[in-house]
Amino acid sequence: MMYNISKYLLIFLLTVSALWAQDKRKVGLIPFINERPNPKYDWVSYGLEYYLRNKLSVLSGFYVPEKKVFQKVLDEIGFGKNPPTERMIYHIGQYAKVEVTVSGSYVVENGSLNLKILYSNAYNGTPILSTQIREPLSKFFDVGNQIIDQLVNLAGIPVSESEKRLLSFTLTNSVSAFESFIRAYMENNKPNPRFEVVTGLFKKAIQKDPKFWEAYYNLGIVYFNSGKLEDALAQFDKVIQALPNFSKPYFGRGLIYFKKNRYEEALANFQRVTELNPNDYKAFYYIGRVNIKLKKYKEAEEALNEASKINPEYAPIFYELGNIYYNQGFYKKAIEFYRSATELNPKNADYHLKLGDSYYRSQIFYNALNELNKAIDLQPDNPIAYFLKGLTIYKQAVIEELIEAFLELLNGTDDGSNPKNPGGNTSRFTMDPIKKKQVYLDMAIAFTNAVRYRPNFKEAIFNLGLTYHEMGSYDLAEKYYILTLQHDSTLVRVYLKLAELYTQTGQKDLAVEQYRKIFYLDPAYIVRHPTLGPEHRYLNLLSKFKKELEEKLQKNPNDTQSNLTLAKVFEAQGNYGKAANLIRRVLAFNPNNKEAKKLLNSLNKY
């Protein structure tokens, strides 16, 4: 039995300290050590942790770090098969930001569970209270409840009636079923879990206790994680039908609807979770995510703020808060939330990437480059990070040159002979040739890596072509322009750059051919820019291409593409009547032509 220690003495021991000064009691659950290693009873440690975490999750006065996050801390401080030392507990407090730890050891002997429990001050590692519990293993859940009672008494927190109701919820009355349930978890946490073993153990738990609804729910989660959504939904529906006031299956069902883009149904299920368990931060988190998908940003922010109150150390909450502002174009506001996400989880490449992206869009290029480099270090095959890095390198170089030129002008050191700033005009500076060469080389490397990891990344391919074009490597520039067009043959800007390149290299016929392709893609561009420069002897492209078009129509008056192109020319010139007549001609012999119908509808607005 538990040693008899006065409840009031326990409260006093902690009241005199500052441990419980904050609104939420941050508790670290350190796995209990099996004093006599025996695989038969290894499940007890996992089972105690699961049971305590499950019960504490419904109490608003407690906060328990995410299991994966806390496990990383335990791995980093070297926690293993021996009880933690005071120094270890101090480091756990520092790294996991918990105030108190619960640790201990156990022995199972002759059907009895002998448990030693240590509550420690995580600020300095010193013990607060040491106690023991001895009960038959068949009273495993009573042992867990006694630990919960001790924690509540130590903290001196009130427990609401709704929380008492949630605490009274019984997972199962069968310790044997619970053992199978926990062994399923142990298998699932292995580096390469065996799906059939995990599902088999959950089913075994259900077989031992057909009313073990937590097992049904977790079996559904295993199906969900394996992509078996209909099997998962069947499990969740079964639990809801049997136990409509159990919050977890609503959460599982919400996940399925969220994955299927059925956002209104997902929202209803996540909201039901918060009604049944107001301390479930992940339900509020997903309500935020759903509302972001629905572009209901005010509702999303409210839900995510509620989630952050319950768990202020869950990085994805702040990432989604950043997304709210990013999606609306408020990039500087998004920065503060993305920064919080990276501080809470500095090893998440996506967080650094989005922070770098926001810095870039806010024209804070130095910080952008730092964050993009961190993203690349964490995820070396991320094409977006390399692409943004290539863009940022150039922007940062330009800003540095502008600042340098401005300072020279401000300090009066620029006499007009500075090649960066001829005549002292900051709008006409040119980059230092040596620096420029290095900048373009770094850009080329970044864009090359982007294309390496996403071969069809047309924006990166095009920018690689632009970079080589600026470097004077015309063969490589041509190669990447053409490669871009192989991925998308409708990109007018690429044909323009190719025309420019061919003009520079004296291949005038090829240059004109690029303009011809532009004419058929976007006739309005040629209407706005009808004449080439002196390199082409001021060739009038509009007259040339329009004449070619008219000759085609003389040979084949019903040629759809030629009629539509000429109609677009007339539209760009403001001859809407002529344009409409041509389109009607097309529809007369091709009544289902979607492009013609769209053009005619747009002309009817004039």
- Residue whose token pair is 């509540």: 152
Would you say residue 327 lies in a domain? Answer: no
pLDDT of residue 604: 77
Q: b/e per residue, 320-337, with b = 16+ CB within 10 A? A: bbbbbbbeeeebebbbeb
Residues 305 and 301: their CA atoms lie apart, in Å, by 6
The residue to which tokens 């270090």 are assigned: 377
Q: What is the pLDDT of residues 12-70, one digit of tens each?
A: 344 334 444 456 789 999 999 999 878 899 999 999 999 999 999 999 899 999 888 89
Element (H, E) at 562: helix 560-573
> b/e string for 354-368 if b means 16 or more Cβ within 10 A?
bbbbbbbbbebbebb
Residue 468 contacts residue 415 (beta carbons within 8 Å): no
Q: Check if the beta carbon of residue 149 is closer than 8 Å to that of residue 18.
A: no
**pLDDT value at position 408?**
58
Q: Among 149, 167, 185, give the residue marking a domain's end.
A: 167
Other C-beta atoms lying within 10 Å of the C-beta of residue 588: 10
**397 vs 386: CA distance, rounded Å:** 17
Q: What pLDDT, on a 0 to 100 scale, did the predictor assign at position 438?
A: 92
Structural domain contains residue 579: yes
What per-residue confidence (pLDDT) applies to 9? 40
Q: Is residue 494 part of a domain?
A: no
Q: At what angle do helices 383-411 and 365-378 cross, to 10 degrees?
A: 150
246 belongs to a structural domain: no
**Amino acid letter for position 344:** L
Distance from the first to the final alpha carbon of the chain: 90
Q: Examine the fold and report which residue of 124, 142, 167 is the final residue of a domain before the chain moves on.
A: 167
* The pLDDT of residue 18: 46
> Among 536, 559, 533, 538, which residue's Cα sits nearest to residue 548?
559
In a domain, 134, yes or no: yes
Q: What is the mean pLDDT of the chain?
A: 90
The CA distances from residue 246 to 154, 254, 276, 461, in Å, are 28, 14, 7, 53
Which one-letter DSSP state was computed for residue 329?
Answer: T
**Which residues fall within 8 angstroms of residue 266, CB to CB, at 6 or more apart?**
254, 255, 257, 258, 286, 290
* Domain end marker among 167, 186, 215: 167
For the cut 90, the answer to whether the pLDDT of residue 420 exceeds it is no
Q: How many whole angstroms separate alpha carbon 93 and alpha carbon 471?
A: 54
Amino acid 485: pLDDT: 97
- Of 132, 129, 137, 133, nearest in space to 47 by CA: 137
The pLDDT > 90 percentage for the chain reads: 77
Residue 472's region, left for phi above 0, alpha for psi from -120 to 50, else beta, is: left
Q: Which amino acid is at 601?
A: N
Quick one: average pLDDT of 327-341? 97
pLDDT tops 60 at residue 3: no
The pLDDT, as a whole number, for residue 20 is 45
pLDDT the model gives residue 427 = 38
CA dihedral 351, 352, 358, 362 (to 10 degrees): 150
Return the half-sphere exposure (C-beta side, CA atoms, 13 A cut-off) of residue 548: 12
Residue type, position 155, single letter = A
User: What does the DSSP assignment read for 186-210?
Assistant: HHHTSSS--HHHHHHHHHHHHHH-T
Instruction: Report, as an integer, the average pLDDT of 102-106.
Output: 95
CATH number of the domain bearing residue 97: 3.40.50.10070
> How high is the pLDDT of residue 402?
64
| Residue 509 φ/ψ region, left for φ over 0, alpha for ψ in the -120 to 50 degree band, beta for the rest | alpha
**What is the per-residue pLDDT across 9-19, written as a single tens digit (0 to 9) for each?**
443 344 334 44
Taking residues 118-134, report their average pLDDT. Answer: 94
Q: How confident is the model at residue 433 (pLDDT cuts 50, 70, 90)?
A: confident
Q: Phi/psi class of residue 133: alpha, beta or left (left: φ > 0; alpha: ψ in -120 to 50)?
A: beta
Q: Does residue 605 carry a pLDDT above 80?
A: no
Per-residue pLDDT band at 272 (split at 50, 70, 90): very high
Confidence (pLDDT) at 435: 86
- Assess whether pLDDT exceeds 80 at residue 601: yes
Give residue 399's pLDDT.
Answer: 78
Examine the pLDDT at 394 and tell me if it is beyond 70.
yes
Q: C-alpha distances in angstroms, 257 versus 237, 251, 291, 477?
A: 13, 10, 13, 47
The helix/strand/coil state of 448 is helix
Q: Would you say residue 129 lies in a domain?
A: yes
Q: Which residue has the tokens 């532009």?
A: 518
Pair 28, 98: CB distance under 8 Å: yes
Count how many domains the chain has: 2
The mean-pLDDT minimum among 314-328, 394-408, 469-483 falls in 394-408
What amino acid is encoded at 354 in this protein?
Answer: K
How many other C-beta atoms are found inside a 10 Å radius of the C-beta of residue 552? 16
Residue 97 lies in a domain: yes
**Closest to 501 in 3D by CA, of 468, 474, 480:** 474
Q: What is the mean pLDDT of residues 307-329?
A: 96
Cα maximum dimension of the chain: 106
Say if CB 594 and CB 563 are below 8 A apart.
Answer: no
- Rounded to the nearest 5°, which phi and psi values hold at 27? -115, 130
Question: What pLDDT does 405 receive?
Answer: 58
Dihedral in degrees, nearest 10, Cα atoms 473, 478, 483, 487: 120
pLDDT value at residue 92: 94
Kindly state the DSSP code that residue 279 receives in the 8-state scheme. T
* Host domain of residue 589: 556-606
Query: Are the beta carbons of 335 and 362 closer than 8 angstroms?
Result: yes
Residue 388 lies in a domain: no
Is pLDDT above 90 for 406? Answer: no
How many alpha carbons fall within 13 Å on the CB side of residue 414?
Answer: 19
Beta-carbon contacts of residue 534 (< 8 Å; ≥ 6 apart): none
